[in-house]
Amino acid sequence: MSPRPPLAVVAAGAALFVLVAILNCGGYRYGVGDQAFYVPAIEQQLNPSLFPRDRALIHAQDRLMLSDEALAATASVIGSPLPALFFSAHIVTLLLLFGSAAWFARACDLSWLGIAAFECALTLRHRIEKTGANTLEGYFHPRVLAFAIGVAALAAAVRGRVWVALLATAVAFLVHPTTALFFGAWIAVAAFVGNRSARLSLILTAPVVIAGGIWGMAGPLREQLTVMDETWLAAIAAKDYVFPTEWRWSVWALNLSYVVVILAIHRSRTKLGLTRAGERGLVVGTLALVGLFFASLPFVQGRIALAVQLQTSRVFWLLDFLAVFYLAWLLIDAPAPWRPRRAAVAVAGALAAIAIARGAYVTFVEHPGRSVIAVSLPQDEWMDVMMRARETPLDSHLLVEPGHAWRYGISARIGAERDVYLEEVKDSAIAIYSRPVASRVVQRTRELADFAALTPDRARELAEREDLDYLVTEARLALPEVYHNSRFWMYRLK
């Protein structure tokens, strides 16, 4: 076993991993993406007077996890503003992923050079095809944090510390339940197959887990054991990643290729006598995850709400991680008489160069002028009018362009901290978890089908019927003006 590198080298590697990962995500930005849900959920925890109309929508997803309560409590105790807290959590997530991946790879006897190559590969953010999940995000996301904790649990399982692994999985469950659920299934199967001493404990624990599942089905999740109707399906029609039964053949081929890579390289390691104790269990565990995915397909095809909501296709994210590990071993550590050691060093150096170059391209070429790290909300025309909206009463109800979050960058619920009639991207995503929310999204989407052609009379009629207070738009309208800048106008509707 090669000697451990000096602490200074490890620290430098961790810092470089964080920087290159951020670059490969196009930089760090606060308030974008799925934070359109997480930030308002936390703000509502900190100030219950916020979002009186959107509370039911927020609660539809908020009730399924505890991460927002934990972050709200942290912000309250330490007195940190959310932008700083989220940035800190993002850095902690990346550092944890770096450390967990190294711990896992070392447990599987990857050399330190191989670990360096593995870490470089992990910075290459990519989408797991048709799953709605990326390996990394350019903002803090509880799903990525839960994944990093899950990798640590995986490393503990490989080292034979099954109870440590299950405890870590339980922690991940509090952060992001479905991600932790997949890791829990992987680790349980791996431990049962590869750790004889743990089998009895797992068998004794199984009734408790089954009882908990039955309780969940009969209690908190009972309403999810229903068939999605046409209205519910219409609300999430754009979220095609939740319906793997409708994948193209190329998506099937790409995602199932993870299985081929894992089995082929594991077989090679086995023939060479290089497998680590417990590694066979890991591979069998990945097959169990794929089996879980296939077992869910009839229920997804039948549009059973819970099966759709679990998004079992995301098990391929876990397979992606193991496949990348095995490829790092194949490129760096696999015995090859024809390949001198310096060739392995060259491959690792090339991977590092690719990761850095790709990160630079994504950040500085694809997104020119964007700050590498933007801890706070941007200072632009949209945020200018949103800050003016923050001066309205807390129970104000805003009417804005339905696609404003992707069009202008920041959700009005984050920018203005006020109820919003419709934010099409996130509202339709939350609709996956609630039929009432889905009905609301469908109805409001129809109402605003042609927002660009909104007339003053139509705006007043909608305001009267839907209890709307202010309109923010790029159009000049004959309505009482509250504020305007070079791009946006804010009008009073009552």
Q: Specify the DSSP element, H or E, that contains 173.
A: helix 162-175
Residues 232 and 286 in one domain: yes
Residues 237 and 153 in one domain: yes
The residues with which 399 forms a beta bridge, in sequence order, are: 471
In this prediction, residue 337 has a pLDDT band, given cuts at 50, 70 and 90, of low
Does 73 fall in a domain?
A: no
At residue 484, φ and ψ (nearest 5 deg) are: -155, 155
Tens of pLDDT along 197-239? 777 777 777 777 777 777 666 666 777 789 999 999 999 988 8
Burial 168-192 (b: 16+ CB within 10 A, else e): bbeebbbbbbbbbbbbbbbbbbbbb
CB atoms within 10 A of CB 319: 23
- Position 338 scores a pLDDT of 55
Final residue belonging to a domain, choices 298, 331, 365? 365
**Is residue 18 predicted with pLDDT exceeding 60?**
yes
Q: What is the pTM of this model?
A: 0.94
Give the percent of the chain with pLDDT over 90. Answer: 78
Q: Could you tell me the CA-to-CA distances from 468 to 350, 415, 480 in Å, in that order?
A: 57, 18, 14
Query: Tens digit of pLDDT for each residue in 351-372?
Result: 999 999 999 999 999 988 889 9
Question: Whole-angstrom Cα distance, residue 350 to residue 346?
Answer: 6
DSSP 364: I
pLDDT value at position 218? 63
Q: Do the beta carbons of residue 14 and residue 95 sit within 8 Å?
A: yes
Residue 326 has pLDDT above 80, yes or no: yes
Q: How far apart are the first and last CA of the chain?
A: 74
Question: Is 283 within a domain?
Answer: yes
pLDDT digits (tens, 9 = 90+) for 250-281: 999 999 999 999 999 999 999 988 888 888 99
pLDDT over 70, % of the chain: 97
Considering its fold, how many domains does the chain have in total? 2
Does residue 70 lie within any of the structural domains? no
Q: Has residue 318 been placed in a domain?
A: yes
Res 146: pLDDT: 97
Q: Are residues 402 and 446 in the same domain?
A: yes
pLDDT at 212: 72
Note whether 142 and 21 are same-domain residues.
yes
What range does the domain containing 478 cover? 381-492
Residue-wise over 326-364: b if at least 16 C-beta within 10 A, else e? bbbbbbbbbeeeeeeeeebeebbeebbeebbebbeebbe
In terms of domains, do 145 and 273 share one? yes
Query: Residue 492 half-sphere exposure, CB side, CA atoms within 13 Å?
Result: 7
pLDDT tops 80 at residue 101? yes
Domain annotation covers residue 274: yes
Beta strand 489-492 with 470-473 is: antiparallel
Shared-domain flag, residues 192 and 334 = yes
How confident is the model at residue 470, as a pLDDT?
97
Give the pLDDT confidence of 420-442 residue by residue, as tens digits. Answer: 999 999 999 999 999 999 999 99
User: Mean pLDDT over residues 1-30, rounded?
Assistant: 91
The tokens for 255 are 């995602």
Which of the four pLDDT bands, split at 50, 70 and 90, describes residue 165?
very high
Q: How confident is the model at residue 480 (pLDDT cuts 50, 70, 90)?
A: very high
DSSP structure class, residue 2: P
Whether the pLDDT of residue 339 is over 70: the answer is no
Q: Tokens 């995986």 sit at which residue?
A: 154
Q: How far is CA 156 from CA 161, 164, 177, 278, 485, in A?
A: 5, 6, 20, 11, 56
Of 365, 391, 421, the last residue of a domain is: 365
Quote the pLDDT of residue 80.
86
- pLDDT number for residue 195: 76
Q: Which pLDDT score is estimated for 475?
A: 94
Residues 106 and 145 in one domain: yes
Pairing of strands 481-484, 489-492: antiparallel
Adjacency order of strands within the sheet including 397-399: 419-420, 397-399, 470-473, 489-492, 481-484
Pair (14, 121) in one structural domain = yes
How far, in Å, CA of 445 to CA of 431, rounded?
Answer: 13
Q: Residue 74 falls within a domain, yes or no?
A: no
pLDDT score recorded for residue 189: 93
Residue 1 has pLDDT above 60, yes or no: no
Domain annotation covers residue 460:
yes
**Residue 2 within a domain:** no
Tens-digit pLDDT profile for residues 277-298: 888 999 999 999 999 999 999 9
CA 365 vs. chain centroid, Å, equals 25
Question: Do 166 and 246 fall into the same domain?
Answer: yes
Considering the domain architecture, whether residues 443 and 346 belong to the same structural domain is answered as: no
Tell me: do 391 and 354 sit in the same domain: no
Our measurement of the distance from residue 471's CA atom to the centroid of its chain's CA atoms, rounded to an integer in Å, reads 32
Give the H/E segment covering residue 478.
none
Average confidence score pLDDT of the chain:
92
| pLDDT at position 227 | 92
Distance, C-alpha 48 to centroid of its chain: 26
What's the average model confidence in pLDDT over 62-81? 85
Quick one: pLDDT band at residue 330, thresholds 50, 70, 90? Answer: very high
Q: Could you tell me if 22 and 131 lie in one domain?
A: yes
From 339, 365, 391, the end of a domain falls on 365
The two structure tokens encoding residue 418: 């006020």
